[in-house]
Chain A
Amino acid sequence: MDWGQILSNTASSLIGPATIAYALAAIGLSVHFGYAGLINMGIAGFMAIGAYGYAISALTFGLPWWAGFLVGIGASIVFALILGIPTLRLRGDYLAIVTIAAAEVLRLLFLTGEFDDVTGSADGLSGYHASFRAANPIPDGTYGFGPWTYNANGWWVRILGIAIVAIVALIVWSLMRSPWGRVLKGIREDEDAVRALGKNVFAYKLQALMLGGVFGALGGIVYALPSAVNPGVYVTSLTFFVYTALLLGGAATIFGPILGSVIFWVLQTFLSNVLPALATSGILPVTSTQASTLRFVLVGVILMLIVIFSPQGILGNKKELTFVK
């Protein structure tokens, strides 16, 4: 077994584009679920909207990269409105059902051959990088050290991604310490009580859905930035993975979603490297394909264990645990 390679890959995933994308999506979910109590089970749909919005803008409409960002963000706001206006007046669990269904509908729309010209159906989309890479201020070459050695485009994606995470985290922090965030947390606890105090609960929930949806779309865009848009990514299990990252770190915290995503991807990368290696060297009595699927089983088990034993997450307030209903 090549431990050097395994550890190097694992270390590299610390700042991988997927890690950054998950962090953004998990921050979006923290706004939905952690602060507003909205059970959004369709974060994968918001990510798909971002990724496709970005790629289609470039490929079909020839827009520059930043316009692609704006299209992705705008489309996610529209999606949030379409989802929210009919469902946010209903009880919380209905939103979960509607969002999971809407995300699936969306994915199938992207997947169907009907719109192949635009969406690339099952092949997805690729080759939309020209504008983004042309905007790269970093001169060509390879930079970094050890496991963190990337070319100019690799760094451009990572630096921009991390900057977006920082800005998004700052926005959430500013909002959640403000009276606006207080109303949102109040709604999470008991929306009728908040209504009785004269707050337009529906409007706040809609704002929260749009805000978190925009962050989810940004996650989707960052996911798509380095390589391609693959319809197989935006499935329901993506939603569950993002939830795992969120709950691992702490749902109603600023840094929890980021920490959770980092741990999630470091663990994923480590397992996806180490398990097949263990299988080939005969230590694990399974084939190496089975071994790489095994990590998803482990992720599922971890999600269950967190929810049962530590629902407030690593960074969550331990005091809250006493009062989890």
Chain B
Amino acid sequence: MSSDVTPNAPRPKSTGLHSGPIQPGVAKVDPIIVADGIKRTFGGLTAVDVDHLEVPRHAITALIGPNGAGKTTLFNLLTGFDKPDAGTWSFDGQSLSGKPAYRVARMGQVRTFQLTKALGLLTVLENMKLGAKEQTGEKFWLSLFPGFWRRQEAAIEEKARELLVKFKLDAKEADFAASLSGGQRKLLEMARALMTDPTLVMLDEPMAGVNPALTQSLLDKILDLKDEGMTVLFVEHDMAMVRHIADWVVVMAEGRIVAEGPPADVMQNPAVIDAYLGAHQELDLGVVTGRHTADEVE
């Protein structure tokens, strides 16, 4: 591995996020999202059925659960991309029920997609610049006269370049986003989301398809977001990563929230082990599949 990677000192986790006994739907000291009675059905299938959920501010919350648990559907509902059958929810104290997706994003709640959405025939830099909010040049009449937007555009471009350097995409800025690899697109989508100066960043499996070396730096990026004052809610299947960066974990199964709590506690919860982790979470995969014994791994 390259020598310029200095191992980061482990950053302290946020604690004391909840009030009252830990249970699904527990109240948070300072919630950024409060959702009540959210239900979404597809035909006969209940994809999401959440009685109460609060997401703590200035913390990193992981949303975990088996495939089909309803995590992405919940993301879609919270961000206005889908409409629930019932339920209310608020962001930063303002009700979001019935707000279209673009308004949700303007309020500072930005998301990425599980199936990455890079804008293929725009360059990487254009993808980034599109993310910036409140651009004068995006108004029809004003866009005709560069005098109105040239300076703002230059500032946006500078900010975009800084982020691209951070995400190691600066060499690609003039390439079509369609030419990026799957992992690079994940990075671009996340960097583009950050162009909106969000207060809450919702990442749907940001690490899927990103190589292990880059994963570490991506995890650091997510921790940076928290240091910069943002709140992060992310979906992830890799328990090691969840344990590493999450301050709080919410577990979904079959549309419901079955457990929540700090990562170490949640992973001891029998309901979670049952629903998701299985009995072998601490073991090497080879042990589970019987290719070698636990002793060999030690």
Interface residues, chain A, CB within 8 Å of chain B? 171, 174-175, 178-183, 185-186, 188-190, 192-201, 207, 319-320, 322-323, 325
Q: Is the CB of A185 within 8 A of B119?
A: yes
Q: Is the CB of A180 within 8 A of B140?
A: yes
Q: Which residues of B contact A195 (CB under 8 A)?
A: 81, 100-102, 105
User: How many Å from the CB of B144 to the closest CB on chain A?
Assistant: 5
A196 contact from B101, B135, B138, Cβ within 8 A: B101
Which of B119, B129, B189: most chain A Cβ within 10 A? B119
**Min C-beta distance of B127 to chain A, whole Å:** 8
Instruction: List chain A residues, Cβ under 8 A from B131.
Output: 197
Is B119 a contact partner of A186 (Cβ separation < 8 A)? yes
CB <8 Å contact, B113 and A199: no
Cα A180 to Cα B102 in complex, Å, equals 16
What are 29 pairs between A and B in contact, CB < 8 Å? A174-B143, A174-B145, A175-B144, A179-B137, A180-B137, A180-B143, A182-B126, A186-B122, A186-B127, A189-B121, A189-B122, A190-B117, A192-B81, A192-B113, A192-B117, A193-B113, A193-B119, A195-B81, A196-B111, A196-B117, A198-B103, A198-B110, A198-B196, A199-B102, A199-B138, A320-B176, A323-B176, A323-B179, A325-B120
- B64 CB → nearest A CB, Å: 22
Would you give the shortest CB distance from A194 to chain B, in whole angstroms?
A: 7
The answer for the CA separation of A258 and B84 in the assembled complex, in Å, is: 48
Q: Which among A180, A192, A200, A320 has the greatest number of chain B C-beta atoms within 10 A? A: A180
Please list the 9 inter-chain residue pairs (A to B) with the smallest Cβ-Cβ separation, ordered nearest first: A179-B137, A180-B143, A198-B105, A193-B117, A178-B143, A323-B178, A189-B119, A198-B106, A195-B101
The complex places the Cα of A201 from the Cα of B138 at a distance, in Å, of 12
A148 to chain B, nearest CB (A): 33
Whether the pair A197, B192 counts as a contact (CB closer than 8 A) is yes
Instruction: State how many angstroms separate the Cβ of B177 from the closest Cβ of chain A.
Output: 8
Is residue B167 contacting chain A, with contact meaning CB distance below 8 A? Answer: no
Given contacts A183-B138, A195-B101, A207-B140, 20 further A-B pairs with CB under 8 A are: A175-B140, A179-B130, A180-B140, A183-B130, A189-B120, A189-B121, A190-B117, A194-B119, A194-B130, A195-B100, A196-B81, A197-B130, A197-B131, A197-B133, A198-B102, A198-B103, A198-B105, A199-B130, A323-B120, A323-B121
Q: Closest Cβ of chain B: how far from A89's Cβ, in Å?
A: 10
Please name all residues of chain A whose beta carbon is closer than 8 Å to the beta carbon of B135 when the two chains form the complex. Answer: 179
User: B153 within 8 Å of A by Cβ?
Assistant: yes
Q: How far is the CA of A232 from the CA of B100 in the complex (A)?
A: 44
Q: What's the dominant secondary structure at chain A's contact region?
A: helix
In the complex, chain A residues whose CB is within 8 Å of the CB of B111: 196
Q: What residue in chain A is nearest B80 (Cβ atoms)?
A: A195
**CA gap between A207 and B100 in the complex, in Å:** 19
B153 x A179 contact (CB < 8 A): yes
**CB closest chain-A residue, reference B79:** A196
Nearest Cβ distance between residue A187 and chain B, in whole angstroms?
9
| Choice from A171, A178, A185, A201 contacting B146 with Cβ under 8 Å | A178
Task: Note all chain B residues with C-beta closer than 8 A to A201.
Answer: 102
Which residues of A lie under 8 Å from residue B103 when comparing CB positions?
198
**B196: which A residues are within 8 A, CB to CB?**
197-198
Minimal Cβ-Cβ distance residue in A for B146: A178
A197 pairs with B105, CB closer than 8 A? yes
Interface residues of B in 77-105 (CB under 8 A from A): 79, 81, 100-103, 105
Q: Mark B53-78, 1 if CB is under 8 A from A, else 0.
A: 00000000000000000000000000
| Residues on the B chain within 8 Å of A207, using CB | 140
Given contacts A195-B102, A197-B131, contact A179 B138 (CB under 8 A): yes
Residue of B79, B130, B189 contacting most chain A CB atoms (<10 Å): B130
Closest to B141 in A: A180
Q: A29 to chain B: closest CB distance in Å? A: 18
Output the least CB separation between A165 and chain B (Å). 18
Question: B151 at the A/B interface (Cβ < 8 Å)?
Answer: no
CA distance in complex: A193, B105 (Å): 11
Once bound together, how far apart are the Cα atoms of A203 and B211, in whole Å? 39
Chain B neighbourhood of A190, CB < 8 A? 117-120
**CA gap between A2 and B103 in the complex, in Å:** 66
Instruction: Enumerate chain B residues within 8 angstroms of A175, measured Cβ to Cβ.
Output: 140, 143-144
Residue B280 interfacial (CB < 8 Å): no
Q: Across the interface, do B110 and A197 meet the contact criterion of CB distance under 8 Å?
A: yes
Return chain A residues, CB-CB under 8 Å to B129: 179, 182
Contacts of A193 in B (CB 8 A): 113, 117-119, 189
A313 CB, nearest partner CB in chain B, Å = 14
- Cross-chain contact B149 with A179 (CB below 8 angstroms): yes
Chain B CB count within 10 A is highest, among A189, A192, A197, for: A197
Query: Which of chain B's residues have a CB closer than 8 A to the CB of A197?
Result: 105, 110, 130-131, 133, 192-193, 195-196
Measured between alpha carbons, how far is A186 from B177 in the docked complex, in Å?
Answer: 11
Which residues of A have CB within 8 Å of B140?
Answer: 175, 180, 207
Asked if B121 and A185 sit within 8 Å, CB to CB, the answer is yes
B33 to chain A, nearest CB (A): 17
Chain A hits for B106, CB < 8 A: 198
Question: In the complex, which residues 141-189 of chain B have their Cβ closer than 8 Å to any Cβ of chain A?
Answer: 143-146, 149, 153, 176, 178-179, 189
Of all chain B residues, the one with the shortest Cβ separation from A320 is B121
Q: A192-B81, A197-B110 are in contact. Are A319 and B176 (CB under 8 A)?
A: yes
